[in-house]
Amino acid sequence: MHLRALVVDDQPQIVSFLRPVLEREKYRVAYADTVFQGEKKLRSDHYHVVILDRNLPDGDGLSLLPLITETSQETKIIVLSERGATDSRVEGLNKGADEYIPKPFSIEEFVARLRAVTRRNLIKNDDVVMFENITIYQNKHIIQWKSVKKHLSPLSFKLFLLFLRNKNVALTREQIAVKVWPLDKYPTSASIDVGVRRLRKDVDGFPFQIITEHYVGYRFVDKT
């Protein structure tokens, strides 16, 4: 079964760049080059993922986010933008984007983040769920692999789920802050680093690790 993707970008080279990549990932690709055309597409069809530019001829692509989330809570949103400053990325994530990738970007990064956002639907709201070979007891904040079981603090549990959903993807401290900490308790970089160090100790006996990506943030990967 093919999935459906909508690319809203007024740069033909970006569309030409993304189309074959999305098709290899089994997406049927639709295209719009303005906010107006994007709105028409969103009102007429369902999409599994929407890829948005911000600098469109008739406005900011972020203006489409309320319509996307109103239409379907399952639709994933990836923003691709030349507005790569921290405040721009935080704005996009706060308004509902699942990923925010500054331009220019590589095919490898785009594919990794695309796969990451689609994996997030695998973790449901059930109390006990399986993700790959990990058992997750969501109400108790317990994770288990084989005979190894660990109880996590509420913050460490949220951080663990964020990393698990974004396995193999480098996460910036800004992304971690927005997804894990309350908006009224925005953490310092040092606080984020402390949280990651605690989680590293918690998952030491598990088959994965959190590695530092210098000048970027952190990446959650399998142990080799």
- CATH of residue 206: 1.10.10.10
> Which residue, among 11, 5, 9, 54, has the nearest Cα to 30 in the 3D structure?
5
50 strand-pairing partners: 6, 77
Last residue of a domain, one of 62, 92, 120: 120
Q: How many Å is the maximal CA-CA distance in the chain?
A: 56
Residues 8 and 116 in one domain: yes
Residues 54 and 151 in one domain: no
Number of domains comprising the chain: 2
Residues 115 and 153 in one domain: no
Residues 108 and 206 in one domain: no
DSSP annotation of 152 reads -
Last residue of a domain, one of 93, 120, 147: 120
Tell me the pLDDT of the chain averaged across its residues: 89
User: Hey, CA dihedral for 43, 175, 210, 158, is it positive or negative?
Assistant: negative
Residues 115 and 39 in one domain: yes
Which residues, 6 or more positions from 67, have their beta carbon under 8 angstroms from its beta carbon? 39, 42, 43
Residues 30 and 95 in one domain: yes
Please count the CA atoms within 13 angstroms of the CA of 94 that sit on its side-chain side: 13
What is the pLDDT, as a whole number, of residue 190? Answer: 95
Residues 115 and 131 in one domain: no
Residues 184 and 210 in one domain: yes
Residues 63 and 146 in one domain: no
Q: What band does 126 get if pLDDT is binned at 50, 70 and 90?
A: low
Is residue 52 within 8 A of residue 64, CB to CB? The reply is yes
* pLDDT value at 35 more than 60: yes
Q: What digits encode the pLDDT tens for the residues 150-190?
A: 999 999 999 999 999 898 999 999 999 998 998 778 899 99
Residues 75 and 184 in one domain: no
Is residue 67 within 8 A of residue 44, CB to CB? The reply is no
What is the pLDDT, as a whole number, of residue 123? Answer: 53
Question: Which DSSP string do the residues of 35-98 spell out, in sequence order?
Answer: HHHHHHHHHHS--SEEEE-SEETTEEGGGGHHHHHHH-TT-EEEEEES--SHHHHHHHHHTT-S
Residues 76 and 160 in one domain: no
Distance, C-alpha 98 to centroid of its chain: 4
Residue 82's CATH number: 3.40.50.2300
Global pTM reads: 0.59
What is the pLDDT, as a whole number, of residue 57? Answer: 96
Tell me how crowded residue 11 is: count the other CB atoms within 10 A of its CB: 15
Which residues, 6 or more positions from 156, have their beta carbon under 8 angstroms from its beta carbon? 141, 195, 198, 199, 202
Domain span at residue 47 reads: 3-120
* pLDDT value at 122 more than 60: no
Q: What digits encode the pLDDT tens for the residues 79-115?
A: 999 998 999 999 999 999 999 999 888 999 999 989 8
Last residue of a domain, one of 97, 120, 143: 120
Q: What band does 7 get if pLDDT is binned at 50, 70 and 90?
A: very high
Residues 162 and 186 in one domain: yes
Q: Amino acid identity of 32?
A: A
